[in-house]
A = this chain, B = another copy of it.
């Protein structure tokens, strides 16, 4: 016990999500927010230009729980005090993290998903919220299928499939492409965020794959494509981001987590726009309100808001009691049916 070889450094990182201007955003670390001792550990630009998630090294002396440590790091590095927090995943593969490549300890990263409401001024002015879809341009289907899917991704993945020598493997790759990006018989499944990112990574199309990988295509055109596939991030942070996004989209449907992203009161359209921003798909307005109201998730405050440009909207608030009542349903977004 306690051999040097068996000890491990644990890094805690957060994907803190909010929605503003109809756009899902996440918190990145501010420059100069690190103590000197930590700066070396997490120093930016170690091997790729790109933002980094707020994170830090877990200190068992100081932090009674992992979550406490996480909240402290996020506060130090961004000024934001987190509300709702849930654990996402623990990443521990060798070679994942720059620090251990320099010959340090093995690094384990525990990733968290946090949700905050921008509206209530919780977030200090300096906080650095970046657009999700700037990093995942293929994930926003609110205006229909994004151009980049048909014009760049699908052709590039077809080409990648052809590169395989084995014809079974070619078919497998094509099948993954169709399943991930909703081509042909398959339907777009907004939850498969991680699968899609990993497919693009495996195919060597995103910038991080080109950074990490050896023997990949180094042509200028491959570089141009990578730029169209969103902004890269430090280390494997974009993968963690994809994990968070997928989990959030999934959770939206069976737990009332949207409300963590809302101000205390809101109109049903605001609620709908938030769901749409996160899930990346449009929903049917009338059915959405039917669902939300029938499930008893909200109640009218009685107030009416008329700054909406049309008929004034009723103001609602979340009814947290619902969780203790019967089953707590989330807000389901319906995917278009493609059956017979």
Contact = CB atoms under 8 A, between A and B. Distances in A.
Interface stretch (A146-154, A197-205, A320-328): A320-328
Q: Please give the count of copies of this chain that the complex contains.
A: 2
Contacts of A37: 1
Contacts of A326: 185-187, 338-339
Contacts of A178: 324
A40 to B, nearest CB: 7
Contacts of A61: 5-6
A7 interface: yes
A179 interface: yes
Contact of A7 (B9, B65, B186): B9
A17 B104 CA distance: 37
A235 to B, nearest CB: 16
A93 B65 contact: yes
Given A1-B40, A57-B6, A92 B66 contact: yes
A227 interface: no
A110 interface: yes
A135 to B, nearest CB: 24
A239 B96 CA distance: 30
Interface in A93-131: 93-94, 99, 104-106, 108, 110
Contact of A60 (B41, B65, B105): B105
Interface in A1-50: 1-2, 5-10, 37, 40-41
Given A7-B9, A9-B8, A105-B7, A94 B64 contact: yes
A9 B57 CA distance: 14
A57 B234 CA distance: 29
B64 A93 contact: yes
Contacts of A64: 93-94
A270 interface: no
Contacts of A5: 59-61
23 contacts: A1-B99, A2-B7, A2-B104, A5-B59, A7-B9, A8-B58, A8-B60, A10-B10, A60-B94, A60-B106, A64-B93, A64-B94, A65-B93, A65-B94, A66-B90, A66-B92, A87-B90, A90-B90, A90-B110, A186-B324, A186-B325, A189-B327, A326-B339
